[in-house]
Amino acid sequence: MFKKILIANRGEIACRVAATAKRMGIQTVAVYSDADANSKHVAACDEAIHVGGSAPKDSYLRWEAILEAAKATGAQAIHPGYGFLSENEAFANACAKAGLVFIGPPASAIQAMGLKAESKQLMEKAGVPLVPGYHGADQNPELLQREADRIGYPVLIKASAGGGGKGMRAVEKSEDFAAALASCQREAQNSFGDQAVLIEKYVQRPRHIEIQVFGDTQGHCVYLMERDCSVQRRHQKVLEEAPAPGMTEALRKQMGEAAVAAARAVNYVGAGTVEFIVEQRDNQATGQVDMNFFFMEMNTRLQVEHPVTEAVTGLDLVEWQLRVASGEPLPLQQDQIKLTGHAIEARICAENPDNNFLPATGHLQVYKKPSHTAFERGTVRFDDGVRQGDTISPYYDSMVAKLIVHGDTREQALALLDQALAQTQVVGLASNVQFLRHVVHSPSFAEARLDTALIPREAQVLFNQERVGMNVAAAAVVAHTLHQEQAKQGHDPFSKSDAWQSHAETSRRFPLEFAGETHTAWLLYGHDGQMQLTWGDAAGPGAKGAHDEFSFALGKSSGHQATNALNVTWQGQRVTSQVVLQAGKLGLPAELAHVFTAHGATRIRLIHPLAHVEGAQDEKGGLTAPMPGKVVSFAVKVGDKVKAGQTLAVMEAMKMEHTIAAPKDGEVKELLYAPGDQIAEGAELLKLA
């Protein structure tokens, strides 16, 4: 077994590999970029070597620098994680030439499976079923257009050299094909250095089911059951689970054996995943759903979602990787691998689901994880590579963490996942935590009616939903404000600035913005010390009618941990909430209040009298960047007349392209940046008359 390995990656996967290595008594070396100098994965390893600038091409993709780091530290092997160099055959070959073990498959297997078109041809020879499509070497755009027209729409354009949803577009009609092709080719070139694509029939009601395979140097190969990864956005996975709902033993065996045949076709060694698209068809005779599967691709690395397989098999796949790479045989044979219970993984990402999942960057002001979590297998597991106070930069993928739960049944796993998500708090940047809870509660996911169109199909219940009502959220914010004042000023009523009077009654106004609308909460102080709360213009000073009794108390501490939870009673209802304030702009006390409850979370903006200064700018017709990133291209020039919805520019952030469209009709007056420029969120891109 190795004594020391270098981990050529960052974030949660670097921390995850380091955890297994530490348990096995193996020393670890981290590499890091300028942006990651103080990151969690650096602290998790025994040694750390700086390898370059913040952009991946200047650091984590500089395999020469990584090899030098391995030699300098005496590492015997390199674990590439996933992404970056994990599927780069040149890097695998370079490791071998340098006398280092690449903890992954042979370079020949990476090459064979790395190009989707060639791998399809290999799979056809191996007898693995394929989706109808074009996998040829001729990349003439006119030929590709003709092939797409021949296959019939909708079609899927896919980068031949990569994965992870990059360089992939679904095209509904012929006239949209050329623009989608150009975008895919750019994204493929930027991500993989190869703009070749393939065209496939877009399967209706598809499920994405993948099989985990493992091979060793003695010629053994097994499958470790399946994972269902059908819940996706932008062709990237959101939730993954094992086993796949509705999977029969016969179909599992058929798919598993096909996956092993695919691996054997390239003499595979180590951890790999064979991905299948599964077509669902209603069988009128039986009333059941028939499932036919087709080979999509093979990922020649460890997958992001490998923890769900670990949970249901009780195995550590990184340990298997290390043992196989050091020359040991597979620890188990096929008939010794068993499934136990049900596991689900949720990817927690820095993104705004309500704004087309645009990536977000920022400072993790609050980063609270669910309770009872650890790396070890168990009921709840939380894998991450960040800590509270860290900054999420625009240079890398938007994934912040992975939340994995394991229960006896799918229903139990769903309940555990929802509970754990309710305990997860992210403040300082947009995240998808509440969106994930919406997915868990959606009818399609709860009832396991899965396919890759689940998110758009359930859009009405997934997006722009405030699961905590304005009334409850406002009451929590008012209670938090009063509690903060008590903590700062003591309990002397004459020292307060809350309009308290020694006689009669008085009221206090709390202007708030909730879900884009302005509201006013009124707090009435009684001469007997009681408080009443209501809202609306009719509830102001002198208003008649009943007010609702209002009180609050600090929640109890949990174990040795103090809590900032408030038990708020209003309208006879007691709600336990936590409120975290995020500072407003211009140094104003106007703040964004994040309200967390067991039923969900929401945000309320406290409106300060001076806050109008922030929005007092005249509308100048400028179009601003919706996120930080790089300008890829402009689709217009000065003087062009544009229509609402027309593409104006393309930006790239967190390794994905995003199209910027005109919000209204107008004329382009000025382009304020050039392709290749890095710009901040909110920066003015161009001016429209």
pLDDT (tens digit per residue) in 107-126 = 999 999 877 677 888 898 88
Tell me which amino acid residue 136 is.
Answer: G
Whether the per-residue pLDDT at 430 is higher than 50: the answer is yes
Q: Taking the CA atoms of the chain, what radius of gyration do you get in angstroms?
A: 28
Q: Looking up tokens 């930006």, which residue turns up?
A: 651
Tell me which amino acid residue 224 is.
Answer: L
Q: Provide the pLDDT confidence category of residue 561 given band limits of 50, 70 and 90.
A: very low
Could you write out the DSSP letters of every residue in 322-369? HHHHTTPPPSS-GGG----SEEEEEEEESEEGGGTTEE--EE-SEEEP
Question: What does DSSP assign to residue 408?
Answer: S
Question: What does DSSP assign to residue 578?
Answer: E
Q: What is the 3-state secondary structure (H, E, C) of 660-686?
A: EECCCCEEEEEECCCCCCEECCCCEEE
Please give the pLDDT value at position 469. Answer: 84
208, with CB counted inside 10 A (0-12, 13-18, 19+), is buried
Please give the pLDDT value at position 124. Answer: 86
Whether the per-residue pLDDT at 350 is higher than 90: the answer is yes
pLDDT digits (tens, 9 = 90+) for 373-408: 655 556 899 999 999 999 998 899 899 999 999 999
Check if 301 is active-site.
yes
Q: Classify domain 206-462 at the CATH class level.
A: alpha beta
pLDDT digits (tens, 9 = 90+) for 49-84: 999 999 999 999 999 999 999 999 999 999 999 999
Share of the chain above pLDDT 70, in %: 89
Mean pLDDT, to the nearest integer, of 149-158? 92
Cβ–Cβ under 8 Å, residues 671 and 637: yes
Sequence ranges of the domains in the chain: 4-103, 132-201, 206-462, 470-612, 622-688
3-state secondary structure of 246: coil
Please give the pLDDT value at position 683. Answer: 84
Please give the pLDDT value at position 638. Answer: 93
Q: Classify domain 622-688 at the CATH class level.
A: mainly beta
Element (H, E) at 29: strand 27-33
Q: Looking up tokens 């942006």, which residue turns up?
A: 35
Angle value at C-alpha 227, between 222 and 233, nearest 5 degrees: 140
122, with CB counted inside 10 A (0-12, 13-18, 19+), is middle
Please give the pLDDT value at position 519. Answer: 87
d(CA 648, CA 659): 8
pLDDT digits (tens, 9 = 90+) for 520-547: 888 888 777 788 888 775 555 555 555 6
Question: What does DSSP assign to residue 137?
Answer: S
Please give the pLDDT value at position 372. Answer: 64
Residues 643-654: b if buried by 16+ CB within 10 A, e if exposed:
eeeebbbbbbbb
Please give the pLDDT value at position 559. Answer: 43
pLDDT digits (tens, 9 = 90+) for 577-626: 999 988 654 444 457 899 999 889 998 988 865 444 333 333 446 788 87
Tell me which amino acid residue 540 is.
Answer: G
Mean pLDDT, to the nearest integer, of 284-296? 87
| Catalytic-labelled residue, pool 10, 169, 301, 605 | 301
Please give the pLDDT value at position 235. Answer: 82
The average confidence (pLDDT) of the chain is: 87
Q: Which two tokens stand for residue 490?
A: 């003591």
Please give the pLDDT value at position 426. Answer: 95
Alpha carbon dihedral 589, 592, 598, 600, in 10-degree steps, equals: 160
Please give the pLDDT value at position 355. Answer: 85
3-state helix, strand, coil in the chain (%, to 5): 30, 35, 40
On the CB side of 536, CA atoms within 13 Å amount to 8
Please give the pLDDT value at position 644. Answer: 85
Please give the pLDDT value at position 618. Answer: 37
Mean pLDDT, to the nearest integer, of 313-331? 97
Q: How far, in Å, are 224, 309, 348, 368, 436 from residue 377 at the CA level?
A: 16, 11, 19, 20, 22
Please give the pLDDT value at position 23. Answer: 96
Domain 132-201: assigned CATH number: 3.30.1490.20
Whether the per-residue pLDDT at 48 is higher than 60: the answer is yes
d(CA 78, CA 5): 6
3-state secondary structure of 56: helix
3-state secondary structure of 585: helix
Q: What is the 3-state secondary structure (H, E, C) of 557-571?
A: CECCECCCCEEEEEC
pLDDT digits (tens, 9 = 90+) for 33-44: 999 999 999 999
Could you give phi then psi for residue 466, rounded to 5 degrees?
Answer: -100, 100
Please give the pLDDT value at position 362. Answer: 87
Please give the pLDDT value at position 514. Answer: 87
More confident residue, 430 or 500: 430
Neighbouring C-beta atoms of residue 497, cutoff 10 Å: 8
Please give the pLDDT value at position 610. Answer: 47
Angle value at C-alpha 210, between 206 and 211, nearest 5 degrees: 150
Tell me which amino acid residue 410 is.
Answer: R
Q: Classify domain 4-103 at the CATH class level.
A: alpha beta
pTM of the complete model: 0.82
Q: Does domain 470-612 have CATH number 3.30.700?
A: yes
